[in-house]
């Protein structure tokens, strides 16, 4: 990858941020004002704002006072107090300010009363005065009321909507994703003879792109000429963005060429839209080349938005080191990284498991006066929980509280999940209780996570009580809730209660899914009721539900255990033809069953080859049994061929090295994940098995766990005869593949795979 050199080449990059994303306004009230008694009652507990003004105030002083007020009742009181003063007549700017203040509070009736007041006082009611209604209705999600208001405004107030008004209206509806209302409003605009301008077309094109109708959007752009209008940069970039959202960057690039041919000037907006498209598809090198090309041809100079997109794109594709280099460029060019920059880096580091570095970036952003937000903290807390660093996660929660950063339901859900997965249910319950004290509403995920944790800790009675509490709080149990309880009863072998759960689930209007049925099938198989499980499998098929390995695997495994290998293989073949493709677990079950079932060895050999062709590596324990069988039948050639296929398919040298180096960095955490790491190594192929055993034993010895070291050596030693045969038969093949020259690194120590292969147990 030439990313590093490409980044170092580009030493330009200054900034104008084109995209401003204001914080979304959350309405707090839908009440209306009564000017008789309600205002008076409200003001009995409010400091009189009029005392700030002298009776001979100027309109400018009143306007400033209104802008400082946050309470809608205080705004009304101040306005009416001012209206009673001699020689005062409200100006249009004062009326607009009052309307905006009332609109933010959702005082729509009071706003209409102000309009009536304007009408009585013969003040001009123009289109701009009425835009506050559109904006306020939209902020409360009352889009149908907007249409009703527009229909009534001409009749009640004599205001005829102009092009600017309709553009504002259409844009609000598009941003609210109310595309049907956009169509209605545009039809009204046309029927009333209001002439569109370029902005009108741009908004309608944005609506079509939002509806994934790119071709009609292009046709609409072509219609602009009929109205004597020419597309501007906004027109072209809107269609470009539409193509990018559809995953068609090439289409966006064609629109850019069309834009240049039309004589439209390419600015940073266009370049940044396309850079975003490259980054979205992970094509970072192409993004850098495009930036270089545009800087040479069009005089493009990257801005802060460009930097942020590159940082985000690099972080998402795992190139956080290069993302940090881009941030250094930002600083050199005089641009301060913002919350978007830091959150991108932290997210990238957390995805790589580099949580310590993510915390370093967090501390760095605080030192640079960039306040972390809830997303920042939640990202790190989630990673800490996945890494089982729960105390550090709690410390970060405390830091959020001290810094005044809002903790939301995701924050608490993440912590509850982390503690539940570590079987620390008491701590999870404490966090659950904290939510109520902190005023954070619990949701279905909160309850489901704790219910699942209680079930896995065999505290099913408390789980049932928690489900009752969930219902009392107005939350309906869903399939996740029921599946947790179902899993417990199936594992406990209580099939009657498990069946009752499924019946209750269906009667409560929660349709069982394939996970539900798969769990019940597994429970039936565990209880020895394989025939019933098979019948349930057929019943699910008749319902038209697509069967998954989760449903098939328990039945196939149960049949093999009962030495009914032919039926098991037939069910496996049926699964390939009629259901979702078998997964790694399915192949493991079938391969193990064929190797241990005492059937023809040729069937097991053929199946192992089929596995390898489909990209699945046989597990070593079963492969070892097959190897011994082939060796005893003097079919060494077949055995060598299988070993060669395993190593070739798994690319075991590279995969083993990656697994070892990734896990060795965690130090003593290795011991906690020994079994998982070992299985991964085994899964990397036959040679990977030897590598895994060698490193495993050495690591155990280094950590002083000699007893386990001896146990592992005993468990996985090969017979002298088989080992000697494999060494003799594969030595030349391994040399040809240069496997002896490959190395793995563990904790700073370099180990050759050669001693791994011939390590003596």
| Burial class of residue 52, CB neighbours in 10 A (0-12, 13-18, 19+) | middle
Residue 361, pLDDT > 90, answer yes
**Which phi and psi angles does 743 have, rounded to 5°?**
-135, 155
- What's the confidence (pLDDT) of residue 82? 81
- What's the confidence (pLDDT) of residue 105? 85
Mean pLDDT of the chain: 79
More confident residue, 72 or 487: 487
Residue 38, pLDDT > 90, answer no
| Burial class of residue 532, CB neighbours in 10 A (0-12, 13-18, 19+) | middle
- What's the confidence (pLDDT) of residue 49? 53
Work out the pLDDT band at 52, boundaries 50, 70, 90.
Answer: low
Tell me if 551 sits within 8 A of 518, measured CB to CB.
yes
Angle between helices 674-683 and 686-702 (to 10 degrees): 160
More confident residue, 560 or 732: 560
Alpha-helix residue ranges (DSSP H) falling in 158-267: 163-175, 179-191, 198-210, 214-223, 233-245, 249-261
Cβ partners under 8 Å of residue 517, min gap 6: 536, 540, 545, 551
Average pLDDT over residues 220-228: 95
Q: For residue 424, give Cα distances in angstroms to 397, 430, 458.
A: 17, 10, 13
Residue 269, pLDDT > 90, answer yes
**Which phi and psi angles does 503 have, rounded to 5°?**
-65, -45
- Of all residues in the chain, the percent with pLDDT exceeding 70 is 78
Tell me if 330 sits within 8 A of 337, measured CB to CB.
yes
Residue 758, pLDDT > 70, answer no
- What's the confidence (pLDDT) of residue 48? 52
Q: Give the span between the Cα atoms of 754 and 741, in whole angstroms.
A: 8
What is the tens place of the pLDDT at every residue in 170-185? 999 999 999 999 999 9
Work out the pLDDT band at 639, boundaries 50, 70, 90.
Answer: confident
Tell me if 418 sits within 8 A of 386, measured CB to CB.
yes
Q: For residue 220, give Cα distances in angstroms to 211, 213, 371, 591.
A: 14, 11, 44, 60
**Which phi and psi angles does 99 have, rounded to 5°?**
-60, -40
| 22-36, 262-276, 399-413, 628-642: the lowest-pLDDT one | 22-36
Q: Give the span between the Cα atoms of 509 and 86, in whole angstroms.
A: 67
Work out the pLDDT band at 74, boundaries 50, 70, 90.
Answer: confident
Q: Give the span between the Cα atoms of 691 and 677, in whole angstroms.
A: 12
Helix (H) / strand (E) containing 671: helix 669-672
Cβ partners under 8 Å of residue 6, min gap 6: 285, 288, 289, 292
Residue 278, pLDDT > 80, answer yes
Q: Give the span between the Cα atoms of 623 and 634, in whole angstroms.
A: 16
Work out the pLDDT band at 364, boundaries 50, 70, 90.
Answer: very high
| Burial class of residue 472, CB neighbours in 10 A (0-12, 13-18, 19+) | exposed
Tell me if 691 sits within 8 A of 681, measured CB to CB.
yes
Q: What angle do CA 290, 293, 297 make, to 5 degrees?
A: 140
| First CA to last CA distance, the chain | 42
Residue 727, pLDDT > 60, answer no
Q: Give the span between the Cα atoms of 262 and 257, in whole angstroms.
A: 9
Residue 567 neighbours by CB distance under 10 Å: 15
- What's the confidence (pLDDT) of residue 732? 40
- What's the confidence (pLDDT) of residue 177? 92
The predicted model scores a pTM of 0.69
Q: For residue 422, give Cα distances in angstroms to 291, 387, 450, 461, 492.
A: 47, 11, 12, 20, 21
Angle between helices 249-261 and 233-245 (to 10 degrees): 170
- What's the confidence (pLDDT) of residue 595? 87
Q: Give the span between the Cα atoms of 504 and 485, in whole angstroms.
A: 12
Backbone Cα Rg of the chain? 34
Q: Give the span between the Cα atoms of 696 and 681, in whole angstroms.
A: 10
Q: Give the span between the Cα atoms of 502 and 536, in whole angstroms.
A: 13
More confident residue, 711 or 402: 402
- What's the confidence (pLDDT) of residue 153? 82
- What's the confidence (pLDDT) of residue 662? 43
Work out the pLDDT band at 524, boundaries 50, 70, 90.
Answer: very high
- What's the confidence (pLDDT) of residue 328? 92
Alpha-helix residue ranges (DSSP H) falling in 353-494: 355-367, 374-386, 390-403, 409-421, 425-437, 444-456, 460-472, 479-491
- What's the confidence (pLDDT) of residue 31? 33
What is the tens place of the pLDDT at every residue in 238-253? 999 999 999 999 999 9
- What's the confidence (pLDDT) of residue 647? 66
Alpha-helix residue ranges (DSSP H) falling in 352-386: 355-367, 374-386
| SS3 call for 53 | coil
- Of all residues in the chain, the percent with pLDDT exceeding 90 is 52
What is the tens place of the pLDDT at every residue in 418-443? 999 999 999 999 999 999 999 999 99
More confident residue, 751 or 405: 405
Residue 368, pLDDT > 80, answer yes
CA 25 to chain centroid, in Å, comes to 23
Q: For residue 223, give Cα distances in angstroms to 214, 219, 488, 658.
A: 14, 6, 64, 57
Q: Give the span between the Cα atoms of 185 and 150, in whole angstroms.
A: 9
| 261-265, 623-627, 707-711: the lowest-pLDDT one | 707-711
- What's the confidence (pLDDT) of residue 651? 56
| SS3 call for 744 | strand
Cβ partners under 8 Å of residue 333, min gap 6: 12, 13, 14, 15
What is the tens place of the pLDDT at every residue in 564-597? 999 999 999 999 998 889 998 999 999 999 988 7
What is the tens place of the pLDDT at every residue in 687-716? 444 444 444 444 444 555 545 444 444 444
């Amino acid at each position: 990858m030439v990313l590093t050199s490409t980044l170092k080449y580009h030493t330009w990059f200054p900034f104008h941020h084109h995209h401003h994303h204001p914080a979304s306004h959350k309405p707090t009230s839908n009440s209306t004002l009564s000017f008789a008694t309600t205002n008076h009652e409200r003001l009995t507990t409010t400091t009189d704002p009029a005392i700030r003004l002298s009776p001979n105030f100027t309109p400018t002083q009143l306007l400033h006072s209104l802008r400082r007020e946050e309470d809608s009742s205080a705004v009304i009181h101040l306005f009416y107090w001012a209206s009673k003063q001699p020689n005062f007549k409200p100006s249009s700017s004062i009326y607009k300010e009052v309307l905006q203040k009332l609109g933010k509070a959702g005082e729509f009736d009071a706003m209409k009363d102000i309009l009536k007041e304007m009408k009585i006082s013969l003040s001009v009611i123009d289109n701009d005065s009425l835009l506050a209604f559109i904006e306020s209705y939209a902020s409360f999600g009352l889009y149908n009321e907007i249409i009703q208001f527009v229909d009534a405004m001409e009749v009640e107030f004599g205001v005829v909507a102009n092009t600017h008004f309709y553009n504002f209206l259409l844009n609000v509806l598009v941003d609210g994703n109310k595309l049907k209302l956009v169509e209605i409003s545009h039809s009204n605009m046309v029927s009333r003879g209001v002439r569109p301008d370029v902005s009108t077309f741009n908004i309608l094109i944005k609506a079509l792109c939002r509806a994934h109708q790119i071709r009609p959007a292009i046709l609409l752009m072509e219609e602009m000429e009929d109205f004597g209008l020419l597309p501007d940069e906004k027109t072209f970039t809107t269609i470009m963005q539409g193509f990018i959202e559809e995953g068609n960057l090439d289409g966006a690039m064609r629109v850019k060429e069309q834009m240049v041919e039309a004589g439209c000037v390419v600015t940073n907006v266009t370049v940044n839209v396309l850079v975003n498209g490259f980054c979205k598809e992970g094509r970072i090198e192409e993004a850098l080349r495009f930036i270089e090309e545009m800087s040479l041809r069009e005089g493009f100079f990257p801005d802060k938005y460009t930097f942020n997109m590159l940082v985000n794109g690099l972080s998402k594709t795992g190139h956080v080191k290069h993302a940090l280099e881009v941030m250094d460029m930002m600083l050199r060019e005089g641009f301060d990284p913002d919350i978007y920059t830091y959150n991108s880096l932290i997210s990238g580091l957390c995805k790589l498991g580099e949580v310590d570095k993510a915390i370093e970036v967090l501390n760095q952003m605080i030192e640079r006066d960039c306040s972390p937000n809830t997303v920042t903290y939640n990202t790190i807390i989630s990673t800490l929980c996945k890494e089982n660093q729960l105390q550090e996660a709690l410390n970060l929660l405390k830091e959020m509280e001290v810094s005044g950063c809002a903790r939301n339901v995701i924050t608490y859900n993440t912590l509850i999940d982390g503690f539940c997965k570590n079987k620390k249910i008491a701590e999870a319950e404490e966090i659950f209780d904290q939510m109520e004290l902190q005023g954070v509403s619990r949701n279905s995920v909160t309850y489901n996570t704790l219910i699942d944790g209680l079930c896995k800790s065999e505290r099913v009675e408390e789980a049932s009580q928690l489900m009752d509490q969930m219902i009392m709080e107005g939350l309906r149990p869903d399939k996740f809730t029921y599946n947790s309880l179902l899993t417990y009863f199936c594992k406990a072998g209580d099939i009657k209660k498990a069946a009752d759960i499924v019946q209750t689930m269906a009667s409560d209007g929660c349709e069982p899914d394939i996970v539900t049925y798969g769990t019940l099938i597994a429970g039936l198989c565990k209880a020895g009721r394989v025939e019933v499980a098979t019948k349930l499998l057929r019943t699910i098929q008749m319902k038209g539900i697509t069967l998954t390995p989760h449903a098939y695997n328990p039945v196939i495994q149960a049949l093999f255990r009962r030495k009914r290998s032919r039926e098991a293989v037939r069910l496996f073949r049926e699964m390939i033809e009629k259901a979702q493709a078998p997964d790694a677990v399915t192949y493991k079950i079938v391969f193990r069953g064929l190797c241990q079932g005492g059937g023809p060895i040729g069937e097991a050999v053929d199946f192992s080859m089929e596995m390898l062709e489909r990209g699945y590596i046989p597990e070593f324990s079963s492969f070892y049994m097959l190897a011994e069988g082939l060796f005893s039948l003097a079919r060494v050639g077949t055995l060598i061929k299988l070993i060669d296929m395993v190593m070739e398919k798994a690319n075991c040298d590279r995969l083993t090295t990656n697994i070892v180096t990734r896990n060795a960095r965690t130090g003593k955490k290795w011991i906690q994940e020994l079994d998982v790491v070992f299985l991964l190594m085994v899964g990397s192929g036959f040679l990977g098995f030897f590598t895994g055993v060698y490193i495993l034993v050495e690591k155990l010895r280094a950590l002083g766990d000699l007893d386990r070291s001896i146990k592992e050596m005993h468990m996985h030693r090969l017979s002298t005869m088989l080992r000697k045969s494999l060494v003799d038969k594969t030595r030349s093949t391994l040399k040809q593949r240069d496997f002896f020259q490959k190395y793995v690194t563990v904790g700073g120590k370099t180990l050759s795979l050669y001693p791994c292969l011939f390590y003596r147990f």
